[in-house]
Amino acid sequence: MDALPDHMRPERSFQGFILALQRFWAEQGCVILQPYDMEMGAGTFHPATTLRALGPKPWNAAYVQPSRRPKDGRYGENPNRLQHYYQFQVIMKPSPPNLQELYLKSLAAIGIDSAIHDIRFVEDDWESPTLGAWGLGWECWCDGMEVSQFTYFQQVAGVECAPVAGELTYGLERLAMYVQGVDRVYDLNFNGREGAEKVTYGDVFLQAEQEYSRHNFEYADTTMLFEQFRMAEEACRKYLAAGWREGSNSKEHLMALPAYDQCIKASHVFNLLDARGVISVTERQSYIARVRDLAKACGEAWIHTETGRAV
Partner 1 sequence: MPDLLLELFSEEIPARMQAKAADDLRRMVTDKLVAEGLVYEGAKAFATPRRLALTVHGIPARQPDLKTERRGPKIGAPDAAVQGFLKATGLKSLDEAKIQKDAKGDFYIALIEKPGSAAIDVIAEILPVIIRTFPWPKSMRWGARSAKSGSLTWVRPLHAITATFGLETEEPDVVKFSVDGIEAGQTTYGHRFMAPSAISVRRFEDYGAKLKAAKVILDPQARKDIIVEDAKELAFAQGLELVEDQVLVDEVSGLVEWPVVMMGSFEKEFLSIPDEVIRATIRNNQKCFVVRDPKTGKLTNKFVLTANIEAPDGGKTIIAGNERVIRPRLSDAKFFYETDLKTKLEDRLPKFEQIVFHEKLGTQAARIKRIERLAAEIAPLVGADVEKTKRAARLAKADLLTEVVGEFPELQGLMGKYYALAQGEDASVAAASEEHWKPQGPTDRVPSDPVSVAVALADKLDTLVGFWAIDEKPTGSKDPYALRRAALGVIRLILTNESRLQLGTLFSSALTLLLYFSFRPDLGYPQLARRWSPQVEDGKSEWNDARYLALLDSDGFIARHLEEIGMEQMGNPDLGGDDDREAYDARASAYAEFERRLKHLELVAVHFMFEDAPLEPARTKSAVSNARQQLQSEPFAKLGMDRLATDLGAFLADRLKVQLRDQGARHDLVDAVFSLGGQDDLLLVVRRVEALGKFLDSDDGKNLLAGTKRASNILSIEEKKDKRTFDGAPDAALYKLGEEKALAAAIDQVKAEASAAVAKEDFAAAMSAMAKLRPAVDAFFDKVKVNDDDPKVRENRLKLLNEIRAATRAVADFSRIEG
Please give the residue ranges that form the binding site for partner 1 (CB under 8 A). 56, 79-80, 94-97, 100, 114-123, 125, 135-138, 142-145, 152, 154, 161-164, 166, 178, 183, 280-282
Question: Which CB atom, from 95 or from 216, has the smaller least distance to partner 1?
Answer: 95
Taking alpha carbons only, the member of 18, 46, 168, 154 closest to residue 99 is 168
For the chain, how are helix, strand and coil distributed in percent, rounded to 5? 45, 20, 35
Type of residue numbered 220: A
Question: Which CB atom, from 37 or from 123, has the smaller least distance to partner 1?
Answer: 123
What is each CA distance from 173 to 178, 189, 208, 232, 281, in whole angstroms? Answer: 9, 11, 16, 31, 31
User: Helix 99-109 vs helix 14-27: angle between axes, to the nearest 10 degrees?
Assistant: 140
Q: How far is the CB of 135 from partner 1 (least distance, A)?
A: 7
DSSP 8-state secondary structure symbol assigned to residue 217: I
Question: Which CB atom, from 166 or from 299, has the smaller least distance to partner 1?
Answer: 166
Taking alpha carbons only, the member of 275, 268, 267 closest to residue 219 is 275
Question: Which CB atom, from 77 or from 234, has the smaller least distance to partner 1?
Answer: 77
Q: How far is the CB of 95 from partner 1 (least distance, A)?
A: 5
Q: How far is the CB of 273 from partner 1 (least distance, A)?
A: 17
Q: How far is the CB of 243 from partner 1 (least distance, A)?
A: 26
What span, in angstroms and rounded, lies between the C-alpha atoms of 189 and 198? Answer: 7
Question: Which CB atom, from 196 or from 281, has the smaller least distance to partner 1?
Answer: 281
What is each CA distance from 297 to 23, 63, 237, 255, 260, in whole angstroms? Answer: 35, 25, 8, 12, 9
Q: How far is the CB of 5 from partner 1 (least distance, A)?
A: 26
Q: How far is the CB of 143 from partner 1 (least distance, A)?
A: 3
Question: Which CB atom, from 136 or from 257, has the smaller least distance to partner 1?
Answer: 136
